[in-house]
Structure 1
Amino acid sequence: MPRWLVGKGEGWVTSEYAMLPRATHTRSDRESVKGKLGGRTQEISRLVGRSLRGIVDMKALGENTIVIDCDVLQADGGTRTAAITGAYVALADAISWAKSNSHIAEKSNPLTQSVAAVSVGIIDGIPTLDLCYEEDVAAQTDMNIVCTGDGNFIEVQGTAEGKPFDRNLLDQLLNLGAKGCADLTKLQIQSLSK
């Protein structure tokens, strides 16, 4: 439990993101061996944590801390969005376990929504969903979209890599990302119902 929350009757949800050494085509060293987390790793860990906290009622969670580990086994672009989407499933499962083991009151409902995330981009002028590594590198615009299960946005990160994009393309990317998140939400529901 973080010190600033002790005795306040609220919980906390956070995450740790890591890329395993063989997750990419070229083996990389474990950051733990280097003794320091890289900026990208810290940024993604924070993004995943923020995304999860956006759909959790901390009072309903009680004085419990949940840490979600997001280890990338195989990377092909979109690892941060995949981490968020998978982290929600792990969080829902952890809360279910905590309720059935009396760590969280059975009638309590800490999850206010689901959350999913997807990457979108503009490839050769065409809005594209769920970019792989090659598409991500070639994209004129790259964006990560995090949505709740009911379609509201938690976070949008977007950058023009080449030329700037106009409002029309932004709206197309947001709509495409929201649809992608909705499709992922259906898959999350299926996964959690098993």
Structure 2
Amino acid sequence: MTQAIIAPTKKEEPLLFEPLTWREFKAVEQLLDRPGYRLSFLDGILEIRRMPGEPHETIKKRIAALVELYLLMAGYDFIPTGSMTIENEATAVKREADESYKLSPDRSRPDLVIEVVFTSGGINKLEAYKRLKIPEVWFWEDGVLQVYHLRPEEDGLRYEKISSSEELQGIDLDLLIRCIGMTNHVEAVKTFQQSLQK
């Protein structure tokens, strides 16, 4: 079995515009509704990112295929919500994850969001997800998967970096990372499936 990490592309920085009110942001958002761009908002800062193309989409879809296979085989009654828009005017935040999942049908927002990072800079994604109260956030960047879980604390909420998922208990993250980095998509999915069947 041949493995190769998908080569990262040169990282682009997003365009940032500030200060904007929520109302101004919503007006600009309607004007800039174009394919190939993603808009985010936090603390009066509008972030415009160009979607990075095939390498990003390949990794994103690979992770989605593996996570969904795990969810099916582990018996979750889940809803894949993809890159749905999650926003909250009261906390002045809007985000669209690369992939997201409700881990039971009665949820109002995703339990897990996944970000595939091919750009640098921009708004603080963890802060945005904290305000949206997303329980778990995964970041894949340059072959490394970082997992954060939302924790209550005296003055609010904070994300804690963890070594294993609390939302997808039992998922082997080392195996997941290895399969994400494989050259052949079908081989990666089969390898992951065979391991789950053991």
* TM-score calculated relative to the size of structure 2: 0.27
More helix by share: 1
More strand by share: 2
* TM-score calculated relative to the size of structure 1: 0.28
